[in-house]
Amino acid sequence: MDLSFSPSSSTDGGSFKLIELPPDLCKLIENAIEHATPLQLKVKGHAAEDAVLCTPDKTFAVRSVVLSNSVLVVAPPPDASSADFADDGVVIRDQVNEILELTPCIPRLHALTALLRGREYDDGQEDDEALDGQEEMTKYTYKDALNKIQASDVELDRGLKDRHILVINGSLQPIAPDYLSRLLELILNVLIALSLPHEAASVENLTSALADDHDIPRTVSTQIMSWFGEVKDGKWKMNVEALMREVGLSVLRPHKHDPINLNDLISKWKTLVGDTFESHADISVLSGNYLVSTNDSESLTYFPASSLPVDPARRFADLFLTRSRWKGTDISPFLADIAIDSKERDKLLLKFARATINTQGVWYTARAQYNG
């Protein structure tokens, strides 16, 4: 074949990028082509951020990898009848010296905390007045989050749910933890008062009671029910473990510096949830939110993983500043939100920590060269 440069090669230069698709993303695209179904891929990131590529339900980090050999981008001649090009000629449009590598990564939802600071929904706010008195520039809408937060749509919705962020009049407002705890106690009380089964409670009856007797807007109570269970066909099926966890955290949360005895925590926890659910007050559901005193195994302090840096190096720096060594089973819950799976978690441990084994199991300490 005759090779020749395109007349527009000077302007085309640098306009082509090659992306190497991981197997699951490749399969997703192939299925969309095969079944002629639309597939939307989004690249997200500000100028100061590393870009990510989002599918409808996953996020991939984008990394540039330099190629040892240049790759030519070629095309058939633009006009086969032109005398400038041979019939079997190939026109060089551009050359590529790097590929973009995609690797699965955790959604970058931590930005929500800073963006929504000071916008908490608390007691006394009505759903249609929640934004009154707020400056327009402080509003952050669900649409803003879809466009700017580096996460897929599914991951964003899950993140709003896990972080207990309300969508009110299109704007995002995290609910105040103390107010959420009070609402959950009210929900449990109303279930008992109305003899509603927690496996299939009437949404209408529950929201009406909360609105009429406690002035809780329906849009708020309905969203809270969706956080702690499934709302379907007018019924609410409670996620008992999720709700028990949040109530347990309400007891633990005030003890960030002042330790609480394990038995006292369990006792207060059971009192709040009542006889029906007291058997679910198990400390294991609070994993990743507390530290056990090294001097007293019955003494706990509030230490949430959500308050730690999301950057792995800084996360490990904070963990090893808190404790010089960690048992393997104790440190793992504090790495769950920065690793996509157990393999990724183990890689982080290998990179930032040194393992030793004794009769008590695996222990981790900071690597000698680790400087956080």
Cβ neighbours of residue 372 under 8 Å, at least 6 residues apart? 313, 314, 316, 317, 318, 320, 321
Query: Quick one: 358 exposed, middle or buried, by C-beta within 10 A (0-12, 13-18, 19+)?
Result: exposed
Structure confidence at residue 116 (pLDDT):
93
β 171-174/201-202 pair status: unpaired
Could you tell me the pTM of the whole model? Answer: 0.85
Alpha carbon distance 322, 324 (integer Å): 7
3-state SS assignment for residue 85: coil
Q: What are phi and psi of 14, to 5 degrees?
A: 85, 5
pLDDT in tens, 14-33: 788 899 999 999 999 999 99
Alpha carbon distance 313, 352 (integer Å): 7
Cβ neighbours of residue 61 under 8 Å, at least 6 residues apart? 50, 52, 102, 103, 104, 105
Give me the domains of the chain, ranges plus CATH numbers. Answer: 3-104 (2.60.40), 111-242 (no CATH), 308-372 (1.10.10)
- Helix runs in the chain, H state only: 9-12, 23-34, 111-115, 142-148, 153-162, 177-193, 203-214, 218-227, 240-252, 262-273, 312-322, 328-331, 342-352
Alpha carbon distance 175, 243 (integer Å): 15
Alpha carbon distance 173, 120 (integer Å): 5
Average pLDDT, the chain: 89
Alpha carbon distance 115, 365 (integer Å): 34
pLDDT in tens, 274-327: 999 999 999 999 999 999 998 888 999 999 999 999 999 999 999 999 999 999
pLDDT in tens, 226-265: 999 999 999 999 999 999 999 999 999 999 999 999 999 9
**Residue 200 pLDDT greater than 90, yes or no:** yes
Contact criterion met (CB below 8 Å) for 94 and 149: no
